[in-house]
Structure 1
Amino acid sequence: MTRRQLRELAMLQAAAVRPEIQALRAIAVLSVVIYHLWPAGLPGGFVGVDVFFVISGFLIIGHLLREVDRTGGVRLLPFWARRARRLLPASLLVLAVTGVAVLAVVPQVQWQQFFSEIAASALYVQNWLLAHNAVDYLAATNASSPVEHFWSLSAEEQFYIAWPLVIVGLIAVTGRLKSTAPRRWIVGGLIAITVASFVYSVFAVATTPAAAYFVTPARAWEFGAGGILALFTRVSPSALPFVRAAASWIGLLVIAITLAAYTGATPFPGLGALPPVLGTLLVIWAGTPAVSWAPTLLLRLRPVQWMGDISYSLYLWHWPFIVLVPIALARPLGWRTRLAILVVSIVLAYATKRFVEDPLRVRKKLTSKRAWQSLAITLGGTAVVALGASIAFAQPVIQNSQYSASVDAAIRSDPGCTGAPAALSQNHCATPFAVTSLTNPASAETDIGRGVQSVDDCKQTIMADAVMTCDIGDVSTPTSTVALIGDSHAGQYLTPLDEYGQANHIHFVTYLKSWCSGTGAEGVANPGYDVPDRIRSCTDWGRAVLDSVNQNPAITAVLFTDFTRSYLEPPPVLGGRAIAPADFEQAWQPLLASGKRVIALRDLPNADQQKEDVPQCVALHLTDDDPCAVPKAMATLDPAQDPLAIAAAQTPGVSLVDLTDTFCDATVCHVVIGGLIVYFGSNHMTLEFSRTLESIVGPQISGAIGPR
């Protein structure tokens, strides 16, 4: 930039920037950064995002309203072009640099998650992706990505797109009604949308809290609150100075209290977001009153204003370092490293503001272009970043098909020492738990089979209770029909039972539902439940399944299995209870009374105790022998504490199948067997490994069924 351009920019900023808003930006960004670097030091620092939302609503809706007052309408393309020039260059720079860093330091096992989020961030839908993952029980334990913080920027971009369209729509309505007061319609519409969003936010926090944190409808009211203030306020330095001074201090105090008192357990946003939103509104409304005891001098301090000036870039830069530096160093962050991240982030933020944000906002070559041309240039950059991230995301997918072919070839050439059979002593495999050329963490991370997937045509969702079935195995000329009942831990046997059933004339009918054991017991809950409706849904579904199975004369045997350990840890806030042996017994008795055989398959061991999920752990220990093995006492339930095993022992006529010895020896349970990684997360089998379990689980189920 030339000196003349810098002077022009400084004059524009001096005329447009309000010191109290710059100070709020400084408070907001430092709150978020400190919270991310030292969570215990500022447990409510996440409310800084809400401060940003209110500021955006106040400034943008105020700007749009002034344009309506001045011209009678809103010019959409010029508005969006200005927003794009203001926000996209810095964000695309950070996303591009982060993508290169991921390629350089992150194991390929995490590429799909990270690059999917980079693409979503470039397209400003990251908040919706995180909301989906928050309620997706297979993705809920995803590692933090280096662009996770872009969720708030996504919500802001959606606001910049939606609110002008709302205003244009309201103006169009006033035109059709031949009204001369479009402002009234805009005010009414804004208030209605804000109230509706707030009501939805409160409802969503109570019903789907994980997703409510991210989704735009639960956050729109915060922008709307700032907009309402802009509609009704004309700040005058001489108006009510003492009242404004008091309001400013009260607003700052309310924000400070929420920063110190809130924690990750605080229900949020909803009612929990109301205090910081109101505090921010008070500070903006108060302005900078000329009263000696007002916080005006504090808010106008040059370091405070400077921090507010670089707040956007600082928010962009700090989080990728927090995620990627520990991966690069292979150790957690110490206080010195955290301090270094803070300093480097501030330096990069200043450089980005000085050399990227400001020049591209005032550069004549951009500002003199037509709005659609500016939009095309910035959106072209967006497309490049999103496409690059998508290509990197696709690499593990391409490799998966090649990996599956390699496993097929290994099974054909050495079936006894590939996958699960390698653990059997009679196969005499030299190194059954060693890493081999088949050990592929990147493929294992996404190797999810039918019956386990989040959206699965053979598995009911967490909230729905309608009975849905799948027919596998021999569906044309079976000699027996077996029902498979349970959750996704039952679903992971779908592929091996399908193949075994086809070869041995057994028809399996599956009854699967996420996070539900299928006993129909009242009140049983697990950590996957965050609202009471999930408990009721499981109960209703289980009872409907048992009735359906009992009334089907073709079904001669019923196989039960589930993620038993999870039903022993109910969330205390819902008043649910742990599953008990009696729950299984009550489910089995009517089946036994009708002449059906009942088979109880103990849950497989799990590696939930690992710091990373299993593929990531293996990726970090590829040179180890028997990597990431878990002590048996931690990976398995003691049979004396396993309600399914206890119920099977106490119920005559029930057969118990236990595959623990396939996964564990006397002391540890293995996560690499026969060269294949056993789990894609920490407790679900990979598809490729489960296939190799056919020759082990199939005969045991067949033996429990009895003569056919």
Structure 2
Amino acid sequence: MNTPLINVESKFRPEIEGLRVVAALLVAVYHIWFNRVSGGVDVFFVISGFLITTSIISTINRTREFRFWPYVKKLMKRLLPSVFFILAIVLILSWFLLPRSILDKTIHEVFASMFFYQNWQLAFSSTDYLDSTQMKTPVEHFWALSIQGQFYIIWFLIFTLILFSIRKYKVTKIKALINTVLGILFVSSFIYSVYLTSVNQPWAYFITMTRVWEFTLGSLLCINLPSIKVNKYTASMLGWLGIIGLILTGIVFNVSEMFPGYIALWPMTCALFIVLSGTHDTKYGVKRFLGSTVMVRLGGIAFGIYLWHWVLLEFYRYNVQETPGFIVGTLIIISSIALSFMMTKYIEEPIRSSKDSKFSFKRLGVMGSVNVLLIGSILIGSNIDQNRLENKITDKNYPGALAAKNPEGIPDQEPIPSFSEVFNDLPQAHLDGSNQELDDSDLKIGEYGKTKNYDATIALIGSSHSEHWLGAILEATKDENYRVLSLTRSGTRFSTGYSDNDLKGIWNNNVKEYLKQADVDLIVAQATASDTSTNKIQQQMVGQLQSVKDEYGIEVLAIRDGPRYSFNVLESLETGGLEQTIKRMNSEDNQKDESFWRQFENNNESLNKIDLTDYFRVNGQFHPVIGNIIIYRDNRHLTNTYSESFGPIFEEKINQILKNVL
């Protein structure tokens, strides 16, 4: 290969630097004041695809080769200094300023961020990026950086394969080959992204495969930009349309619920317009603004602005107030800029610009080791606190739900689980993977209790609002000769309200098909949703349970849904205190299913029912802690410990039903 692999413009593009800072500031502004997603991250992905492809092809043109270690070494020197430094600061501040209830989650996400799999960590932990009821860690935004790191490795493999094919098969139409490979990658990733966004948007938001097309679009622009001709008037118009459209993205679309499906084309097209406009220097073009000295300098630290703003914002939220005012929000942005400048000058540049690789990687090694030591120290400290608490636990001091109707005589104790353990106080089906996630409609069954020579089988069916009663059922049946099955799927009610073509509907049909043949004596399931007063939704749940009773003759225990809240009860309890949380809980209409439940309770005699509302109240008021046990993991899901305290209540009810069956 004596000629360039392909002709690309490798010159410095000042307007792209300006676009980077616009994207970073949009992300910060929408996060701080609107608790919304701006589409700025999608622009970052397009720019990254454009720039890394330019760099790769320029390297191949210059050196006639493309080797892994020089490529990765350059990336590590560019990315790791900032990542390791910010994560170290987060770890130190977290011990002193972060609620203990979110500390364990933070540690896991810091570790995932260090090794660039944070997006998968969030996907598997069922995180919803902007759900205000979920507690957020100061490093949750590192998901985008993790995808970017994974993309760089994917792109190395793609271009290594392309270069190998060119040399082995003497390919002459190199541009056509690259466009074909990237085109196939773009189309397949885009189709998958649109599909998965429609069936499981929170999962689609984080995983790598649904984002590859965004990087690919930037790469395709890099390859084909020299062939795209626009006159200077069109370029000026496209540039300003791109800027205006980009700013409006977060206003026009609910990005956190619609991305990364086809709607993501909006901000990405805006980015393409801006890059296209930069091919001409015009008096009134957007390039003059984006390519100005100030914007270029800020563009050089846009990476840092993105990383710092969320860290500062989350520590402020946990220690001062949920939503910053204008002045405080502005100070967060200014502080992010200042910290980025200092970090770039004193942390990044000495490592990145050093010609001594040993010096650079020795520093990176020290920084990474410090982070690992900090993680270990925090985990040890948390375990010491937990062990101290566990040594104080007795059944008498921690009756949980049994104390709701008779709270007198219960000594005040430090509540359990400890705040550092509440987030992970999950039902057994969640811990062993029996609970299904939204990307799967096949039936997954958890089996507990007596698995051979049992007298009866109890099947717990439904969404997470059924699943969180598993602890109660296992506790209730621990001395009985019963088998317990868990057939649960996140976000999926056992209901007639889904289409047969929808994954949730398919799962419901699979459950019914299983029950038709299965040896099940009693079904336990959530029968209402307390966050809606829509009778149709409630009736669809009851209708499904009634159909199982009528068609298969299986007994049913229908559970009224527990109270739900618009805020994270656990976060409020730790940061606002008990009295404030009680006040907030009782200021909301947290059981909108009241009217339907009373009608169902009085008019349906064929299904067994249980209303546990009174076990969430003390003296007529809803409480976040009863019997010295914390009730909620978030705004609606029970801790497994509190669920287990319902054991005697469920034991009486289950045995009462089964004695008429066996």
Q: TM-score range by the shorter chain?
A: 0.7 to 0.9
2-structure distance, mates of 1:534, 1:348: 46
1-structure distance, mates of 2:584, 2:271: 51
Query: Mapping of 1:432-471 within 5 angstroms?
Result: 434-436=412-414, 438=416, 440-451=418-429, 453=430, 456-457=433-434, 459-462=435-438, 464=440, 466=442, 469-470=445-446
Contact between 1:488 and 1:513, CA under 8 Å: does it hold in 2?
yes
In structure 2, the residue matched to 1:168 is: 160
1-structure distance, mates of 2:309, 2:216: 28
* Alignment partner of 2:632 out of 654, 679, 685: 679
In structure 2, the residue matched to 1:6 is: none
Alpha-carbon distance change, 450 to 175 in structure 1, aligned in 2, over 3 angstroms: same
1-structure distance, mates of 2:417, 2:486: 30
In structure 1, the residue matched to 2:529 is: 565
Alpha-carbon distance change, 161 to 694 in structure 1, aligned in 2, over 3 angstroms: same
In structure 2, the residue matched to 1:313 is: 304
In structure 2, the residue matched to 1:613 is: 569
Report the alpha carbon displacement of residue 332 of structure 1 after superposing the two structures with TM: 3.9
Contact between 1:444 and 1:680, CA under 8 Å: does it hold in 2?
yes
Contact between 2:386 and 2:418, CA under 8 Å: does it hold in 1?
no
Query: Mapping of 1:106-255 within 5 angstroms?
Result: 106-134=98-126, 141-179=133-171, 185-234=177-226, 240-255=231-246
Taking every aligned residue pair, what percent have the same amino acid on both sides?
A: 24
| Aligned residue identity for 1:392 | I
| SS of 2:193 mapped into structure 1 | helix
2-structure distance, mates of 1:85, 1:548: 60
2-structure distance, mates of 1:100, 1:570: 47
Deviates more, 1:332-341 or 1:463-472: 463-472
In structure 2, the residue matched to 1:528 is: none
Report the alpha carbon displacement of residue 67 of structure 1 after superposing the two structures with TM: 1.9
2-structure distance, mates of 1:207, 1:221: 19
2-structure distance, mates of 1:483, 1:26: 54
2-structure distance, mates of 1:480, 1:131: 37
Query: Mapping of 1:182-581 within 5 angstroms?
Result: 185-234=177-226, 240-258=231-249, 260-264=251-255, 267-287=258-278, 289-330=280-321, 332-363=323-354, 367-369=355-357, 374=360, 377-378=363-364, 381-382=367-368, 384-385=370-371, 388-389=374-375, 392=378, 396=382, 403-404=389-390, 406-407=392-393, 410-411=394-395, 414=396, 418-425=399-406, 429-431=408-410, 434-436=412-414, 438=416, 440-451=418-429, 453=430, 456-457=433-434, 459-462=435-438, 464=440, 466=442, 469-470=445-446, 472-473=448-449, 481-518=457-494, 521-524=495-498, 533-549=502-518, 552=519, 557-562=521-526, 564-565=528-529, 568=532, 579=540, 581=542
2-structure distance, mates of 1:668, 1:273: 45
Q: Compute the RMSD of aligned alpha carbons.
A: 3.8
Gaps of 5+ in 2: 1-9
1-structure distance, mates of 2:213, 2:543: 48
Report the alpha carbon displacement of residue 636 of structure 1 after superposing the two structures with TM: 4.2
Contact between 1:123 and 1:382, CA under 8 Å: does it hold in 2?
no
Give TM-score scaled by structure 1 length: 0.80
1:556-595 CA-to-partner distances (Å, cap 9, x unmatched) read: x424331621685789xxx98862644443332345xx5x
Report the alpha carbon displacement of residue 633 of structure 1 after superposing the two structures with TM: 8.0
Q: Say whether residues 1:668 and 2:621 are aligned partners.
A: yes
Alpha-carbon distance change, 517 to 344 in structure 1, aligned in 2, over 3 angstroms: closer
In structure 2, the residue matched to 1:602 is: 559
Alpha-carbon distance change, 399 to 691 in structure 1, aligned in 2, over 3 angstroms: farther
2-structure distance, mates of 1:229, 1:669: 57
Query: Mapping of 1:686-701 within 5 angstroms?
Result: 686-701=639-654
Report the alpha carbon displacement of residue 490 of structure 1 after superposing the two structures with TM: 3.8
Deviates more, 1:83-92 or 1:256-265: 256-265
1:214-269 CA-to-partner distances (Å, cap 9, x unmatched) read: 32222222222222222233499x99545544443444344345365333367223
2-structure distance, mates of 1:325, 1:542: 46
* Alignment partner of 1:585 out of 546, 564, 588: 546
| Aligned residue identity for 2:371 | V
Contact between 1:569 and 1:578, CA under 8 Å: does it hold in 2?
no
In structure 2, the residue matched to 1:650 is: 603
Report the alpha carbon displacement of residue 322 of structure 1 after superposing the two structures with TM: 1.0
1:53-90 CA-to-partner distances (Å, cap 9, x unmatched) read: 22222222112112222332213222222222222212
Alpha-carbon distance change, 448 to 307 in structure 1, aligned in 2, over 3 angstroms: same
Report the alpha carbon displacement of residue 306 of structure 1 after superposing the two structures with TM: 2.5
Report the alpha carbon displacement of residue 198 of structure 1 after superposing the two structures with TM: 2.6
In structure 1, the residue matched to 2:44 is: 52
| Aligned residue identity for 1:430 | G
2-structure distance, mates of 1:440, 1:422: 19
Report the alpha carbon displacement of residue 482 of structure 1 after superposing the two structures with TM: 4.5
Give TM-score scaled by structure 2 length: 0.85
How many pairs were matched up? Answer: 651
Gaps of 5+ in 1: 1-14, 526-530
Deviates more, 1:28-37 or 1:618-627: 618-627
Query: Looking at CA atoms only, which structure, 1 or 2, has the larger radius of gyration?
Result: 1
| SS of 1:656 mapped into structure 2 | strand
In structure 1, the residue matched to 2:19 is: 24
Report the alpha carbon displacement of residue 340 of structure 1 after superposing the two structures with TM: 1.6
Report the alpha carbon displacement of residue 276 of structure 1 after superposing the two structures with TM: 2.6
| SS of 1:630 mapped into structure 2 | helix
Alpha-carbon distance change, 79 to 328 in structure 1, aligned in 2, over 3 angstroms: same
Contact between 1:404 and 1:688, CA under 8 Å: does it hold in 2?
no
1-structure distance, mates of 2:392, 2:313: 37
1:393-436 CA-to-partner distances (Å, cap 9, x unmatched) read: 575467556655643xx12xx37x632333343xx74247x553
Alpha-carbon distance change, 535 to 234 in structure 1, aligned in 2, over 3 angstroms: closer
Report the alpha carbon displacement of residue 695 of structure 1 after superposing the two structures with TM: 2.4
Contact between 1:171 and 1:185, CA under 8 Å: does it hold in 2?
no
1-structure distance, mates of 2:529, 2:276: 54
1-structure distance, mates of 2:42, 2:457: 57
1-structure distance, mates of 2:287, 2:609: 74
1:287-342 CA-to-partner distances (Å, cap 9, x unmatched) read: 36344343443334332222223222222211111111122225642222112212
Deviates more, 1:284-293 or 1:576-585: 576-585
1-structure distance, mates of 2:60, 2:401: 69
1:605-662 CA-to-partner distances (Å, cap 9, x unmatched) read: 33x3262233x333235675995783398444665422xx644543445443333333
